[in-house]
Amino acid sequence: MALSVKGATARKHHYVPQFYLRGFIGEKDMLLVFDHETKKTYRSKPHGVAAQRDFNRVEVEGMDANAVEKLLAAFEGETAPHLETVIAKHSIADEKDKAAVINLMAAMTLRNPKRRAAIGKVIENFTLSFLGKKENFEAYVAEMKKQGRDVDLTLEQVRSGLAEMNFAPSKESIMSVEINHHDQAAERLWNKKWQLVIASDDSGGFVTTDDPVTIRWTDGQEHPDRPGLAENNCEIIFPLSTKLALRGSSEGEEGVVNADAATVARINSHIIDNASRQVFAHDHSFKFARGGPVELKSGATLSQDERFLSAGKPAEGKIVPLKAE
């Protein structure tokens, strides 16, 4: 969320909340940042990453331009204590704590630059498809004739003209979709079977990214897109801190499980592959998995990892199910 400076509302808006990122800070309260776009590794405070200028700003007549940002700031202020409790107690048994974490996941699943661009493309393609359909054009012509007006256009001319027009939706339209879909996303997440996964001391812990909610297929098949929350054959991974992660699916055992270094590395590999651009860790000690048979890699090698540098390819294999305690 925005930082306030001398009473002014900042224009730098975080799509990954700073309070969440603090669960992954290391030395001097800083994150170790791996950026596959710049191919650089550096340290940063949470306020320096996962943010865009005016990401939540709206330009609607009669509406405060920072209304959405203020609402999100209030939401995060209410959520932060619940996340701290879950991390401290290693438990989502309290429904208020669980609801807070689920709503945080829903917000970050919907509201980030990658998803915003995807939603915009879907809306644009739907508009083009609708306007270019023969039945819709014929219905329009029929309506014009009823009104005694001639349509001096053919369907081919309409389609040709559409290709040259810009139907990209406004940012405000996309933000409206994000808001309208939040409750549905939260409900689907709530109904998953959740395990709290505790990283072993020798694992180096979990990492997170600028797109922290990983949704991945688990059926071993090739898919052109990432799964939606309604899919049954998928798994959701959400790191909560260096030591703790949530893993959800439609079936399976719920509870608290302990993960050894190999399992944490496999989970990290999926988290890393889901990054839009950046991976965040407390230090270089974390591990991730590559290859088959699986080879554990040190975090110190991530900046040279070909898959990370190529923006991530589909993660191989399934994570071995863990038995709840």
Q: pLDDT tens for residues 5-16? A: 444 567 899 999
Say if residues 271 and 208 touch (Cβ distance below 8 Å): yes
Other CB atoms within 10 A of residue 115 CB: 20
Given this model, what pLDDT does residue 322 score? 65
State how far the Cα of 256 lies from the Cα of 277, in Å rounded to an integer.
31
According to DSSP, the residues that pair with 29 across neighbouring strands are none
- Residues of the chain with pLDDT > 90, as a percent, come to 65
Backbone angles phi, psi at 92, to 5 degrees: -120, 25
State how far the Cα of 263 lies from the Cα of 85, in Å rounded to an integer.
25
State how far the Cα of 206 lies from the Cα of 285, in Å rounded to an integer.
10
Convert the pLDDT of each residue in 238-261 to its tens digit.
999 999 999 999 998 899 999 999
State how far the Cα of 51 lies from the Cα of 231, in Å rounded to an integer.
30
Q: Where are the domains of the chain?
A: 12-51+68-103+192-309, 111-189
What is the chain's mean pLDDT, rounded? 89
Given this model, what pLDDT does residue 3 score? 42
Convert the pLDDT of each residue in 44-65 to its tens digit.
999 999 999 999 999 988 889 9
- Residue ranges of the chain with pLDDT lower than 50? 1-7, 314-316
Rounded (10°) angle between helices 134-146 and 113-132: 60
Backbone angles phi, psi at 94, to 5 degrees: -75, 125
State how far the Cα of 132 lies from the Cα of 155, in Å rounded to an integer.
8
According to DSSP, the residues that pair with 216 across neighbouring strands are 235
Say if residues 231 and 12 touch (Cβ distance below 8 Å): no
Other CB atoms within 10 A of residue 130 CB: 10
State how far the Cα of 282 lies from the Cα of 46, in Å rounded to an integer.
11
Name the H helices within the chain: 18-21, 67-89, 95-110, 113-132, 134-146, 155-163, 171-190, 261-273, 306-309
According to DSSP, the residues that pair with 237 across neighbouring strands are 214, 247
